[in-house]
């Protein structure tokens, strides 16, 4: 049981992890071994940590209702990763064999669906849920799905525009970050304008996270990333470094449409056109907007430090 008294950030972090473990490991017997496998590939809890940071009050304490919200969002994120691995036919995730690789795609899809249901159930079980009716987790789930579908529809579309790309990542990545910041804010804040600022902050940080991740595909290796790199284009995923390159090298885009380009050609073209530098510059604009919001909020210095650390973390995903 979660103590009804307010708790510290560290206590809340521990309780979110325990809530998530309990949810995974008490699943129906038929699905439990798959949940146990997923438990080994959990991430860094950046969304839950964001939620808890936003939920801190002026005394640096957190209402226990934030625990189930944090666990629900992390489970939802895990569900999206399970589905992503099926779509990408990925073998590894965070250094662990993916569910779809070990047990098959059908099993993985069903497990991902189960996790989404569990996330909704967990969020709905929160005490005093009538106080949080404005927080519609299903709406955020649908935005993630629409973003993923939009990316799939544009798979291999070398004419994808800058603004179409931003719309895609606004759904598939930024929506869940926005949900995290929003959930934390409504647990802590009564002031509607401030809650809107938290939502905007979550959106911006989510955009930064994806922009940085897109650069990692060019800048990192599999050992550091703990997932496949140098593979977005091969999977048909068109990211901002390539969009910028295609915009400034039309002849290269036409050659790419013939399929007669290698990974080396892509890397050289992105380097030549400054595709990575441009992507980082877009990320920095979101960073500046995020920092402005953090500085506007009437919060403790410790909370400001936590939110800034999350912002910095999104800018350096690894």
For tokens 């629409």, name the residue: 146
| Cα–Cα nearest to 81, from 186, 227, 251, 189 | 227
Whether the per-residue pLDDT at 109 is higher than 90: the answer is yes
Q: Is 49 within the bounds of a domain? A: yes
Q: How much is the pTM? A: 0.92
Give the residue numbers spanning the domain of 206: 9-315
Whether the per-residue pLDDT at 93 is higher than 80: the answer is yes
Q: Is 156 within the bounds of a domain? A: yes
Q: Is 215 within the bounds of a domain? A: yes
pLDDT, position 2: 45
Q: Exposed, middle or buried: residue 249 (CB in 10 Å: 0-12, 13-18, 19+)?
A: middle
Whether the per-residue pLDDT at 3 is higher than 80: the answer is no
Q: Is 2 within the bounds of a domain? A: no
Whether the per-residue pLDDT at 41 is higher than 80: the answer is no
pLDDT, position 230: 64
pLDDT, position 42: 73
The pLDDT tens digits of the residues spanning 241-277 come to 999 999 999 999 999 999 888 889 999 999 999 999 9
Q: Is 119 within the bounds of a domain? A: yes
> How many domains does the structure of the chain reveal?
1
Q: Is 180 within the bounds of a domain? A: yes
The pLDDT tens digits of the residues spanning 193-242 come to 899 999 999 999 999 999 999 998 888 655 554 555 567 888 889 999 99
Q: Tell me, what CATH number does 57's domain have?
A: 1.10.600.10
Q: Is 128 within the bounds of a domain? A: yes
Q: Is 144 within the bounds of a domain? A: yes
pLDDT, position 1: 36
């Amino acid at each position: 049981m979660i103590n009804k008294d307010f708790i510290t950030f560290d206590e809340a972090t521990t309780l979110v992890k325990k809530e998530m473990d309990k949810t995974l490991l008490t699943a129906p017997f038929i699905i439990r071994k798959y949940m146990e496998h997923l438990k080994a590939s959990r991430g860094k809890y950046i969304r839950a940590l964001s939620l808890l940071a936003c939920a801190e009050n002026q005394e640096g304490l957190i209402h226990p209702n934030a625990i189930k919200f944090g666990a629900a969002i992390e489970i939802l994120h895990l569900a999206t990763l399970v589905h992503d691995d099926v779509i990408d036919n990925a073998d590894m995730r965070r250094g662990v064999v993916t569910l779809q690789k070990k047990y098959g795609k059908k099993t993985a899809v069903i497990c991902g669906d189960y996790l989404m249901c569990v996330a909704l159930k967990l969020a709905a079980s929160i005490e005093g849920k009538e106080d949080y009716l404005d927080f519609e987790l299903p709406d955020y789930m649908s935005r993630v799905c629409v973003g993923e579908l939009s990316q799939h529809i544009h798979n291999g579309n070398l004419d994808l525009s800058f603004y179409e790309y931003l719309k895609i990542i606004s759904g598939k990545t930024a929506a869940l970050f926005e949900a995290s910041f929003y959930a934390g804010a409504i647990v802590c804040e009564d002031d509607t304008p401030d809650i809107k600022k938290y939502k905007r902050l979550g959106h911006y940080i989510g955009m930064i996270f994806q922009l940085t991740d897109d650069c990692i595909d060019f800048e990192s290796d599999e050992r550091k990333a703990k997932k496949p790199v140098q593979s977005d284009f091969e999977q048909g995923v068109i990211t901002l470094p390539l969009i910028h390159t295609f915009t400034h090298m039309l002849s290269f885009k036409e050659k790419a449409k013939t399929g007669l380009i290698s990974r080396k050609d892509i890397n050289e073209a992105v380097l030549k056109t400054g595709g990575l530098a441009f992507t980082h510059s877009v990320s920095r604009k979101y960073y500046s907007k995020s920092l402005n919001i953090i500085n506007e909020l009437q919060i403790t210095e410790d909370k400001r430090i936590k939110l800034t650390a999350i912002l910095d973390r999104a800018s350096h995903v690894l």
